[in-house]
A and B are shown apart, each in its own frame.
Chain A
Amino acid sequence: MNTPKILEVIDLKKHFPIRGGLFGTTQGYVYAVDGVSFHIHKGETLSLVGESGCGKSTVGKAVLRLFPLTGGQVILDGTRIDDMSAGTLRPLRRKIQVVFQDPFSSLNPRMKVRDILAEPIRNFGLARDAADLERRIGDLMDKVRLPRDAVNRWPHEFSGGQRQRIGIARALAAEPELIVCDEAVSALDVSVKAQIVNLLQDLQQELGLALLFISHDLAIVEHMTHRVAVMYLGKIVEIADKRSLFAAPRHPYTEALLSAVPVPDPTVKRERIILKGDVPSPIRPPPGCRFHTRCPYAMERCRREEPELRPDASGHLAACHLHDLPPAENPLLNHRPPTAFRAGAPA
């Protein structure tokens, strides 16, 4: 990608205080996001994957500035927004919009579709007059392939897929450059999911949108993304181009995730990596590498020292001490379970 960066996140931290006791004092913190850095170029899709509770959605909401950050920087289109006041930030919010997971709670049940779509247009002063506002609302309905006369309906009159289209139209209404898709297709059934994924891809092509695609569904990520960032317990453990990451994961966690994706071929002999135990609590993350408690290749060093994200020769970033071993001893390079993607997935 040679286009400029639309979003850059540097060492983002979000710790939620745990209040308790008689006087509501802070008893500790949930280290939901603990030092995350990445960037997205204009027109690019970056997928953020990881299991439930790893902090993916918190990153999305932090980038949208839906809550104050604990630390780090968020740079939107060259402007630092993490320390801006709400009033200064408001006009800049136009550039970054959001589509949520649940198509039912993401639309106000007491607002008609027209008012839902008009809200961002009015807030950012995008329409010249009432006729222009009408024209824009009609165009948005066309863009998300909904009939124009549906603008006079209430959200409850639509199906889940249609509501998600309205949610996308609302995000587009602000003419953003980046849309955060927070599990935007996870709540939809398979055929509708495919439609919405294709719609997002078409819109990206048409409008040059950048997407931060937060998902736990690797099959869809593989289908629509340019680059992938893998999160584990509030940290990014690996970032790489889609092809490089799916073909040759450089972190044991990514390897385990990929091996869990079903292979649509019964003849493939599979060696699945089953991770032991659960994700440790983000209240007391383990010392050293956060993954060492479940890593099949954990070494003594992993328990003490936290690995940094380091690139290999091709720019594939991974945070793992295994890469300091001689290549012949590195299990990630020598032990490769077949996955859905390596077994001849279309590129």
Chain B
Amino acid sequence: MSSTSLPPGLAVAEPMPDILPDRRPRRGVLGFLRRHPTILIGGTLLGIMVLIAIFAPYLWTRDPTALAPALRTRDPGPEFWFGTDMLGRDVYSRVIYGARVSLIVGFSVALLASVIGLAIGLVSGFIRLADAIIMRIMDGMMSIPPILLAIALMALTRGSVRNVIIAITIAEIPRVSRLVRGVVLSLREQPYVEAAIAAGTRTPAIMIKHILPNTLAPLTVQATYICAAAMITEAILSFIGAGTPPIIPSWGNIMAEGRALWQVKPYIVFFPAVFLSVTVLAVNLLGDGLRDAIDPRLAKRL
């Protein structure tokens, strides 16, 4: 390339400097978390809560249910990190224990509501007659706010963690089955499903091989929102005395008991409230991040 061969009035430009930094998109789990910081933050916070719940017996400093009338309503300090309540129970130990109740309820409801909702949604998305009946029932259930439905269901049974899980699951199922049904109805019209029908695939195989795997992404996102909603509902039920029996220290119960002393000893309500908020925030962040990673078009439904 010699400049002598160029026509007059023309010059060869200097090579362009490499202005783009040499950065390759990172692959694997680390790269994924880098691109989706909300998943990283939400996942880390939730992971810490899960660890707290699992290792609660090693973390608490006193028996969370042990009464100590002589030590009641102590302020937070070196001996009682979060203080004590009006029966002298250690709020720190109770809050740590409460993480177990909240997470068990949240995860169980998310899992149960997803599985049952998935089954109902698949059936009503595929069978016209079943669809007409099931969806009217779901419409009826959805016309009652889930919290009221859960209270009504709890009123029918004795308070226990299992019954709380069942009540909240029933209240959440309509939303999941609606979502799954909608996804199934749109997937049924996809050309690859029509091609599978033309290729002689039977209806059950189409549901399992073609429809089901493609509903899992939106369902996973929905499950995280259900998990967050279930934890809040559990706390509300406990707070109004319709949920977990008062003997079990759930966050809602601790707040309910601290309510009377709210103006003089606000920390009894404060600490469980912070833990509940952080956990729900973590789950919601995780859900938002998953939604953005899986399908940005999916609108948040809660």
Stretch at the interface among B47-55, B79-87, B169-177, B190-198: B190-198
Shortest distance from the beta carbon of A171 to any chain B beta carbon, whole Å: 8
Give per-residue flags for A188-227: 1 if the beta carbon is below 8 A from chain B beta carbons, else 0.
0000000000000000000000000000000000000000
Residues 180-208 of B, flagged 1 when their CB comes within 8 A of A and 0 if not, give 00000000001110111111111000000
Q: Is B191 in contact with A91, judged by CB distance below 8 angstroms? A: no
Which chain B positions have C-beta within 8 A of A135? none
Give A168-188 as 1s and 0s: 1 = Cβ < 8 Å from B's Cβ atoms: 001101100000000000000
A98 touches B195 (CB 8 A): yes
A97, B209: Cβ atoms closer than 8 Å: no
B192 touches A97 (CB 8 A): no
Give the shortest distance, in Å, between A213 (CB) and chain B (any CB).
16
CB distance B194 to A93 under 8 Å?
no
Question: When chains A and B are docked, how far (Å) is the Cα of A174 from the Cα of B214?
Answer: 25
Q: Is A319 an interface residue (CB 8 A)?
A: no
Whether A152 is near chain B, meaning CB under 8 Å from some CB there, is no
Q: Given A90-B202, A120-B200, A110–B194 Cβ distance below 8 Å?
A: no
Q: Which B residues touch A64, using CB under 8 A?
A: 194, 197-198
Q: Is the CB of B199 within 8 A of A123?
A: yes
Q: Which residues in B have their C-beta under 8 angstroms from that of A90?
A: 200, 202
Q: A105-B190, A106-B192 are in contact. Are A96 and B214 (CB under 8 A)?
A: no
B195: chain A residues within 8 A (beta carbon):
98, 100, 106, 167, 170-171
Interface digits, A50-87 against B, CB 8 Å rule (1 contact, 0 not)?
00000000000100101000000000000000000000
The answer for the CA separation of A101 and B191 in the assembled complex, in Å, is: 9
| B192 pairs with A105, CB closer than 8 A | yes
Instruction: Determine whether the beta carbon of A98 is less than 8 Å from that of B192.
Output: no
Expressed in whole angstroms, the Cα–Cα distance for A120 and B209 within the complex equals: 13
| Contact in complex: A96, B198 (CB < 8 Å) | yes
Which residues in chain A, 88-122, are within 8 Å of chain B measured between CB atoms?
90-91, 93-94, 96-98, 100-102, 105-111, 119-120
Complex: chain A residue closest to B216, CB-CB: A110
Q: Are A97 and B199 in contact (CB under 8 A)?
A: yes
- Listed by A's residue number, 6 A-B pairs whose Cβ atoms lie within 8 Å are A93-B199, A108-B192, A110-B213, A110-B214, A123-B200, A171-B195
A170 touches B197 (CB 8 A): no
Verify if A154 is at the interface (C-beta below 8 Å from B): no
Which A residues lie within 8 Å of B197 (CB)?
64, 66, 93
Bound complex: CA of A12 vs CA of B71, how far in Å? 88
Name which residue of chain B comes closest to A174, CB basis.
B199
B210: Cβ under 8 A from any A Cβ: yes
B199 touches A106 (CB 8 A): no
B194 and A100: CB pair below 8 A?
yes
- Cα–Cα, bound, A309→B249 (Å): 83
Expressed in whole angstroms, the Cα–Cα distance for A324 and B100 within the complex equals 88
- In the complex, chain A residues whose CB is within 8 Å of the CB of B199: 93, 97, 119-120, 123, 170, 173-174
Task: Return B198 CB to nearest CB of chain A, in Å.
Answer: 5
Cβ of A123 and Cβ of B201 under 8 Å apart? yes
- Given A111-B209, A123-B201, verify A106-B191 contact (CB < 8 Å): yes
Are B198 and A98 within 8 A (Cβ)?
yes
**Looking at chain B's contact residues, is the secondary structure mostly helix, strand, loop, or mixed?**
helix
Q: Is A124 an interface residue (CB 8 A)?
A: yes
Q: How far is the CA of A62 from the CA of B276 in the complex (A)?
A: 56
Which residues in B have some Cβ–Cβ distance to A below 8 Å? 190-192, 194-202, 209-210, 213-214
Q: With both chains docked as a complex, state the minimum distance between the C-beta of A286 and any C-beta of chain B, in angstroms.
A: 30
Chain B residues near A120 (CB-CB < 8 A): 199-200
- Is the beta-carbon distance between B196 and A119 smaller than 8 angstroms? yes
Q: Apart from A96-B198, A109-B214, what 9 extra A-B contacts exist at CB < 8 Å?
A: A66-B198, A97-B199, A100-B191, A108-B196, A108-B210, A108-B213, A110-B214, A111-B209, A167-B195
A123 to B, closest residue via Cβ: B200
Min Cβ gap B184→A in Å is 14
> Nearest chain B CB to A124's CB is how many angstroms away?
6
In the complex formed, the residue of A with least CB distance to B200 is A123
Contact of A97 with B198 in the complex, beta carbons under 8 Å: yes
For the complex formed, measure the closest distance between the CB of B177 and the CB atoms of chain A, giving whole angstroms.
Answer: 20
The smallest C-beta distance from B204 to any residue of chain A, in angstroms, reads: 12
Question: In the complex, which residues of chain B have a beta carbon less than 8 angstroms from the beta carbon of A110?
Answer: 213-214
> Are A94 and B200 interface neighbours, CB within 8 A?
yes
Chain A CB within 10 Å, residue with most, of B195, B202, B209: B195
Bound-state CA distance A93–B196 (Å) is 11
Whether the Cβ atoms of A98 and B201 lie closer than 8 Å is no
Minimal beta-carbon separation of A39 from chain B (angstroms):
20
Give complex CA distance A124, B200 in Å: 7
Give the docked Cα–Cα distance between A111 and B195 (Å): 13
Q: List residues of chain B with CB within 8 A of the CB of A93.
A: 197-200
Partner of A119, one of B190, B194, B201, B214: B201
CB distance from A144 to the nearest CB of B (A): 15
Contact between B191 and A105, CB atoms less than 8 A apart: yes
Give Cα distance in the complex from A235 to B56, angstroms. Answer: 74
**Is B191 in contact with A174, judged by CB distance below 8 angstroms?**
no
Contact A102 B200 (CB under 8 A): no
Q: Which residues of B contact A108 (CB under 8 A)?
A: 192, 196, 209-210, 213-214
Pick from A105, A108, A167 the residue with the most CB of B within 10 Å.
A108
Chain B residue nearest in CB terms to A104: B191
- Tell me the complex Cα distance, A91–B209, Å: 20
CB-CB under 8 A from B210, the residues of chain A are: 108, 111
Given the known inter-chain contacts A108-B210, A110-B213, A111-B209, please indicate yes or no for A66 contacting B194, CB distance below 8 A.
Answer: yes
Q: CB-CB < 8 A to B190: which residues of A?
A: 105
Q: Give the chain A neighbours of B196 by CB distance below 8 A.
A: 108, 119
B277 to chain A, nearest CB (A): 37
Which single residue of chain A is at the shortest CB-CB distance from B214?
A: A110
Within the complex, the shortest CB–CB distance from A26 to chain B, in Å, comes to 14
